[in-house]
């Protein structure tokens, strides 16, 4: 193996990197995808998403417990997400500089600090923005690292499958994360219950941390020697992925509905009722169906094309948002319909969109590409959470759903127009090769 660039001697990432140095001498080959390392990454992702979705789903209720309305949910979530947005360039370069595994463990630590810091909150003062920001930054680090790591485990032609397969772990976490949180929180939702949820989220990260420490370095992972904003900007400009950025941003807007506003929507519109929790019902249908589709259709992008699958996902997501208009207190169980449709959209959109986004970034700057991809999603979530929170507060939730649906349809339409030259060129090439 060629000698590795000399690591910096200071800094938290360098410290973790030195602890992992022994494992880095044994590199992962790229001939296979589903090996020991992918299995460890997969299980670690399940553990983290369990904790993260539990927090994302129930944090709006925590804000409500502290005295906030739905517009406060939007502002706190959106403003805190700015921290993740601003740090994304450095996160990507830290990954390229120190390796995904080293920074991954640091992401767990930041998320844990954010979760535990909520134990000292008693009102909606400035501290709540810091607590939420730590959760956002921790999640940003973890997702960027896991995404970058699995793209190094396989050949480019199976990259969509690798990202999609890792996404299956995400769906498993979404199925059970909010459910576990609801087992802790009663209808009265006391402070002690919220505190137990924050501590429990940290405990869920114990196994993922051990598994990440046991991962080996992928053979295709190289180490960059620069960590600065100027270099990130140059890399982004040099490998700019095009119109797919707009679709990724619209996907970020879409996921504010299930992961920012859903619990408040259920509470504010009287959908909770009696019997089985409607929040748990939504997430189980959303993620359970998305998980089923992701497994059954994991090779669909290879057969029919990533762009076509992505556009089908945009259409399904838009229809899912509009189907929320059919749900009210008298038809609370109809929440299953938007859950299934938006779950379909998520299942088809995320991995195809991310793979198309990363296509122009070579292995040496894959971390920067992953960071730029997440920045696009962050922009959708930041503006979306703040604007949609105000829309829901002043005009009701139905207008919120219509705005998200129309935005997604518009992004998909523009990407379709941008894809026409690509499809024409491929059709011409296919005709020439058949002669």
**Domain at 317, CATH number:** 1.20.1250.20
Q: Which residues contact 92 (CB under 8 A, 6 or more apart)?
A: 144, 148, 232, 367, 368, 369, 370, 371, 372
Contact present, 403 and 391 (Cβ < 8 Å): yes
- Of the listed ranges 149-153, 223-227, 245-249, the least confidently predicted one is 223-227
Q: Over 50: is that where the pLDDT of 4 sits?
A: no
Q: Over 50: is that where the pLDDT of 129 sits?
A: yes
Q: Over 70: is that where the pLDDT of 21 sits?
A: no
Confidence of residue 195 (pLDDT cuts 50, 70, 90): very high
Residue 78 lies in a domain: yes
Q: Over 70: is that where the pLDDT of 50 sits?
A: yes
Give the pLDDT score at 90.
82
Residue 390 lies in a domain: yes
Residue 227 lies in a domain: no
Give the pLDDT score at 411.
95
Which carries the bigger pLDDT value, residue 25 or residue 317? 317
Give the pLDDT score at 37.
85
> What is the total count of domains within the chain?
1
Residue 372, token pair as written in the block: 């730029």
| Cα(48)–Cα(28) distance, integer angstroms | 23
Name the residue range of residue 296's domain.
Answer: 32-218+239-428
Residue 1 lies in a domain: no
Q: Over 50: is that where the pLDDT of 138 sits?
A: yes
Confidence of residue 408 (pLDDT cuts 50, 70, 90): very high
Which carries the bigger pLDDT value, residue 161 or residue 104? 104
Give the pLDDT score at 31.
53
Of residues 222, 238, 209, the one with CA closest to residue 108: 209
Of residues 169, 197, 182, the one with CA closest to residue 287: 169
Give the pLDDT score at 311.
94
Confidence of residue 227 (pLDDT cuts 50, 70, 90): low
Residue 309, token pair as written in the block: 């699958």
Confidence of residue 130 (pLDDT cuts 50, 70, 90): very high
Which carries the bigger pLDDT value, residue 11 or residue 154? 154
pTM summary value: 0.77
Residue 168, token pair as written in the block: 């299956």
Stretch 355-384: mean pLDDT: 83
- Of the listed ranges 22-36, 57-71, 349-363, the least confidently predicted one is 22-36
Give the pLDDT score at 12.
44
Q: Over 90: is that where the pLDDT of 236 sits?
A: no
Stretch 216-222: mean pLDDT: 68
Confidence of residue 15 (pLDDT cuts 50, 70, 90): very low
Residues of the chain above pLDDT 70, percent: 89
Stretch 350-364: mean pLDDT: 84
Give the pLDDT score at 223.
57
Confidence of residue 89 (pLDDT cuts 50, 70, 90): confident
Residue 264 lies in a domain: yes
Residue 82 lies in a domain: yes
Give the pLDDT score at 335.
93
Residue 91 lies in a domain: yes
Cα angle 268, 262, 327 (rounded to 5 degrees) comes to 70
Phi (first) and psi of residue 112, to 5 degrees: -60, -40
Three-state DSSP string of 154-188: CCHHHHHHHHHHHHHHHHHHHHHHHHHHHHHCCCC
Helical H runs in 214-335? Answer: 229-238, 244-254, 256, 262-268, 278-296, 300-304, 306-323
Q: What is the largest CA-CA distance in the chain?
A: 73
Residue 281 lies in a domain: yes
Q: Over 60: is that where the pLDDT of 254 sits?
A: yes
Q: Which residues contact 101 (CB under 8 A, 6 or more apart)?
A: 20, 23, 145, 149, 212, 213, 215, 217
Give the pLDDT score at 1.
43
Distances (CA, A) of 239 to 104, 156, 365: 24, 16, 10
């Amino acid at each position: 193996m060629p000698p590795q660039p000399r690591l910096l001697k200071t800094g938290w990432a360098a410290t973790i990197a030195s602890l992992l140095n022994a494992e880095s001498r044994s590199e992962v080959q790229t001939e296979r995808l589903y090996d020991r390392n992918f299995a460890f990454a997969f299980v670690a992702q399940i553990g983290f998403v369990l904790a993260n979705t539990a927090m994302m789903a129930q944090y709006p209720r925590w804000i409500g417990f502290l005295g906030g309305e739905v517009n406060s949910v939007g502002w706190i979530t959106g403003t805190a997400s700015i921290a993740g947005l601003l740090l994304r360039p450095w996160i990507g370069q830290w990954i390229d500089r120190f390796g995904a595994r080293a920074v991954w463990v640091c992401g767990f630590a930041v998320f844990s600090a954010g979760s535990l810091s909520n134990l000292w909150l008693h009102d909606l003062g400035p501290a709540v923005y810091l607590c939420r920001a730590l959760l956002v930054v921790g999640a940003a680090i973890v997702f960027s690292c896991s995404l970058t790591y699995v793209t190094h485990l396989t050949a480019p032609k199976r990259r969509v499958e690798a990202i999609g397969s890792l996404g299956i772990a995400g769906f498993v976490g979404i199925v059970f994360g909010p459910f576990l949180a609801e087992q802790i929180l009663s209808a009265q939702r006391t402070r002690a219950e919220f505190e137990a949820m924050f501590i429990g989220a940290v405990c869920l990260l114990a196994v993922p941390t051990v598994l990440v420490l046991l991962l080996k370095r992928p053979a295709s992972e190289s180490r960059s020697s620069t960590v600065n904003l100027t270099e990130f900007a140059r890399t982004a400009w040099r490998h700019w992925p095009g119109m797919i950025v707009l679709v990724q941003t619209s996907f970020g807007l879409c996921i504010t509905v299930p992961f920012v506003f859903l619990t408040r929507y259920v509470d504010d519109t009287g959908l909770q009722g009696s019997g089985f929790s409607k929040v748990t019902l939504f997430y189980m249908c959303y993620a359970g169906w998305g998980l089923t589709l992701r497994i059954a259709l994991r090779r669909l992008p290879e057969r029919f094309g990533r762009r076509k699958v992505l556009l089908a996902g945009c259409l399904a997501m838009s229809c899912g948002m509009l189907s929320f208009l059919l749900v009210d207190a008298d038809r609370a169980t109809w929440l299953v319909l938007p859950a299934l449709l938006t779950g379909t959209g998520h299942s088809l959109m995320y991995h195809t969109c991310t793979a198309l986004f990363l296509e122009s970034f070579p292995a040496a700057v894959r971390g920067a590409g992953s960071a730029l991809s997440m920045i696009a999603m962050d922009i959708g979530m930041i503006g979306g959470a703040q604007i949609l929170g105000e829309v829901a507060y002043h005009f009701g939730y139905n207008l919120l759903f219509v705005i998200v649906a129309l935005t997604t349809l518009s992004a998909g339409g523009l990407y379709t127009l941008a894809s026409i030259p690509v499809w024409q060129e491929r059709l011409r090439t296919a005709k020439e090769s058949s002669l």
